[in-house]
Chains A and B, each alone.
Chain A
């Protein structure tokens, strides 16, 4: 993200070398590298997976109901077994990846944008408006997200977009508070104070000086939140307040399969593994991001490259 933020300042070649630097730093942290690779893989599956599946992998086949995993008799698509309608779990996971990433991704993005926007105002303007915004954030924080989910489910309908809305809304305060805290701190830095003294406009101040400096922290937070949102989504599904069929997310698959834990563990195990691996990857990547973006820690990733 840093390279994007600073791309405007240097020429294209500089940007290229920065990208290479970033890649090198990623390569040096093996955990982060594997995580990034895994996340890319999941994204690839989410985009292309459903279309490369053989025909019929997603159609019901009651005779293959709860077919066990590692049985190649029915073809490679059934390697992870079949669900309680006899659909290939692998295929379902691929379709679930699309919905899961879409939901978690858009919820994080929406919350990030809204939270950052209000956080900037609250931090930069401060005063009465700042207090009011913080107060609103407090209210949103203490509003029971389950009630919110029900309201959305009832007033609107259990569409994917509405689940996104619920998840995004309840996470806005997290970004808002973080962003505000960052702004308060950055505002006092010398170059910002200097820019202000030179008569920079508010827009210039916010978008050129403050936002780019707050962005690294926010991006790290967003990566962490991605994992959290995915888990929240599965909790909503568990309580029957989340995504509904025919849409499918990993969380919904875990929740639907939980009744079969004693008899057909694979129904909820694989989607559970998918959630966990993706969440771990996001977290590890966030850790790496935090190190990269922290000037005091960055050497850890640069130093070893020299040896």
Chain B
């Protein structure tokens, strides 16, 4: 009784207020937009711009020296107009003239040097430093007001790519504390706000480039994908980020894009997994097409390697594993005959709430392995617990297991992936293979064509001779975009969302 009457009365009230409600919902004709995202964007200091914070601040508030072309992955000028390698470890960068920060400070070599030094300031929890520059110390040297040299200890052929992560903030930014209102050279400013308020970006006059159409952007946090989708549908938001595949049901509004994430299961090279026949059999037993069409959709790409085709070093000649359960059984029988224990239960370590349909994919793969006689058991873990198994130093003894992983390489070059995962000294490597080490080491210091070839060779060698993982998919994200916007997500969507690329219909 209680509930029914309450709902009825609520409904009645709403109907009475109907007209005013719709008034409140209607989008204004102005160019303010609302973006619904699953993130809290806790700390939008430009120093964190390589994380999801980049969606808000990167290029909108703080600009970087270069900008990666979303199609080719090539660096293009942004705050830097040109760059050249002047010594084996030094790059000379020419900066854009006539640019000012939104607080009035001039953009010059001093500001760039200070931004770099601030990033390396040990007092700051700077994600960019941790993620990209932990082992690469950049040393800036000011040549003149708009020329700067950046040098590194070892040759760094990737400097122009790194420069796309060097977001430059105003020299007035506090050097020793993170700021919640970063100031850069971008077209937008971030007004001060309270701890519980959403982030708002406001367009300012006098931007050096073309004035963007969006006048104001508000970033709302909504944890449920269904809710974000609903918000765009009813007009409460203009862009809904990270729409789950099951909510992306309207092709007019929902756009897929490769989110740069690649998924796989990693083997620990212990027990049965020390035997390459078992590792091969595990790959042969998976019907990736069924998995893709059943749980995901045709937009997902079956992966042969851990990064996307646009990344330097991608080997286009590699083929996905065929689905061949008979061959898998044969390999397992051979291994069994040689005394390899392929019948005990082996855990698959998954991560709770990792990626949409991740859990289902794990369950489905376990079923497929069961069909060839393998006994794999799902063991979901919370992130921190999972991390202890993922990163070296590993606890001893390391058990035989499969680990669910997802990796994003947004940088444009294979090195961020290869060394970490496949080199014997890599932090997440399970094996050491002298030939592979050699290939990766050589590739790391090479440049141009040679670099690409070496990485391609390393990739092909690893996949056929070592079989370190069960490759899955290049993943897709959906973004729901209101019909009033003229906007198409690009490949960089995962790390930045340039408001200047958004137009209105």
Provide the bound-state CA to CA distance between A204 and B6, in Å: 52
Contact B247 A259 (CB under 8 A): yes
Distance to closest chain A CB from B191 (angstroms): 33
Q: Mark B376-415, 1 if CB is under 8 A from A, else 0.
A: 0111111011000000000000000000000000000000
Residues of chain B contacted by A158 (CB below 8 angstroms): 352, 380-382
Q: Is the CB of A246 within 8 A of B363?
A: yes
B128 interface residue (CB < 8 Å to A): no
A–B complex contacts, Cβ < 8 Å, 21 sampled: A60-B367, A62-B291, A62-B364, A65-B295, A84-B295, A85-B360, A85-B364, A150-B382, A153-B382, A154-B384, A157-B379, A240-B353, A244-B380, A245-B362, A246-B363, A259-B225, A259-B246, A259-B356, A262-B249, A263-B249, A264-B246
Q: Which of B224, B246, B290, B380 contacts A62 (CB 8 A)?
A: B290
**8 A Cβ contacts from A202-230 to B:** none
A18 at the interface (CB under 8 A from B): no
Interface range, B side = 20 to 34
Distance between A238 CB and nearest chain B CB, rounded to angstroms: 10
Enumerate chain A residues within 8 angstroms of B180, measured Cβ to Cβ: none
Does A201 count as interface, using CB distance less than 8 angstroms?
Answer: no
Please, which residues of chain A bring their CB within 8 A of the CB of B367? 59-60
Q: Provide the bound-state CA to CA distance between A264 and B226, in Å.
A: 13
Query: B225 and A65: CB pair below 8 A?
Result: no
Contact of B246 among A63, A245, A260 (CB under 8 A): A260
Contact A244 B244 (CB under 8 A): no
- The answer to whether B363 touches A65, judged by C-beta atoms less than 8 angstroms apart, is no
Would you call B271 an interface residue if the criterion is a C-beta within 8 Å of the partner chain's C-beta atoms?
no
By a CB distance below 8 angstroms, the chain A residues around B359 are 245, 256
Residues of B within 8 Å of A264, CB to CB, are 246
Q: How far is the CB of B346 from chain A (nearest CB, A)?
A: 14
- B352 adjacent to A62 (CB under 8 Å): no
CB distance from A103 to the nearest CB of B (A): 16
From 60 to 117 in chain A, residues with beta carbon under 8 angstroms from any chain B beta carbon are 60, 62-63, 65, 84-86
Check: A261 CB closer than 8 A to any chain B CB.
Answer: yes
Task: Chain B residues near A153: list those with CB within 8 A.
Answer: 382, 385
User: From residue A244, how far is it (CB to closest CB) to chain B in Å?
Assistant: 4
Residues 255 to 269 of chain A near chain B (Cβ within 8 Å): 256, 258-264
Nearest A residue (CB) for B366: A246
Q: Please, which residues of chain B bring their CB within 8 A of the CB of A256?
A: 359
Cβ of B198 under 8 Å from chain A: no
Q: In this assembly, does B11 line the interface, its C-beta being within 8 Å of a C-beta of chain A? A: no
B206 within 8 A of A: no
| Chain A positions within 8 Å of B356 at CB level | 259
Chain A residues lying within 8 Å of B70, measured Cβ to Cβ, are none
Question: Across the interface, which residues of A come within 8 angstroms of B246, CB to CB?
Answer: 84, 259-260, 262-264
Write the B236-263 contact mask toward A (1 if CB under 8 angstroms, else 0).
Answer: 0000000010110100000000000000
8 Å CB interface, A144-173 against B = 150, 153-154, 157-158
CB distance from A121 to the nearest CB of B (A): 36
User: B294: CB under 8 A from chain A?
Assistant: yes
**Chain B residues with CB below 8 A from A244, complex form:** 352, 378, 380
- List B contacts of A84 (CB < 8 A): 246, 295, 357, 360
Known: A154-B385, A240-B353, A259-B356. 6 other contacts (CB 8 A): A60-B363, A60-B364, A84-B295, A157-B385, A158-B352, A258-B224
| Complex Cα spacing A25 to B247, Å | 50
| Interchain CA distance A264-B380 in the complex, whole Å | 25
Q: Mark B269-306, 1 if CB is under 8 A from A, else 0.
A: 00000000000000000000011011100000000000
Among candidates B226, B357, B381, B384, residue contacting A262 with C-beta atoms closer than 8 Å: B226
> What residues on B are CB-neighbors of A150 within 8 Å?
382
Give, as a whole number of angstroms, the nearest-CB distance from A256 to chain B: 8
Shortest distance between the CB of A211 and any CB in chain B (Å): 36
Cross-chain contact B352 with A246 (CB below 8 angstroms):
no
A246 to B, closest residue via Cβ? B378
Which residue of chain B lies nearest to A150 when distances are taken between CB atoms in the complex? B382
B-chain residues with CB within 8 Å of residue A59 when the two chains form the complex: 367
Cross-chain contact B249 with A245 (CB below 8 angstroms): no
**A85 contacts across to B, CB distance below 8 A:** 295, 360, 363-364
A245 and B351 CA atoms in complex are apart in Å by: 11
Question: Given A65-B294, A245-B363, A157–B378 Cβ distance below 8 Å?
Answer: no
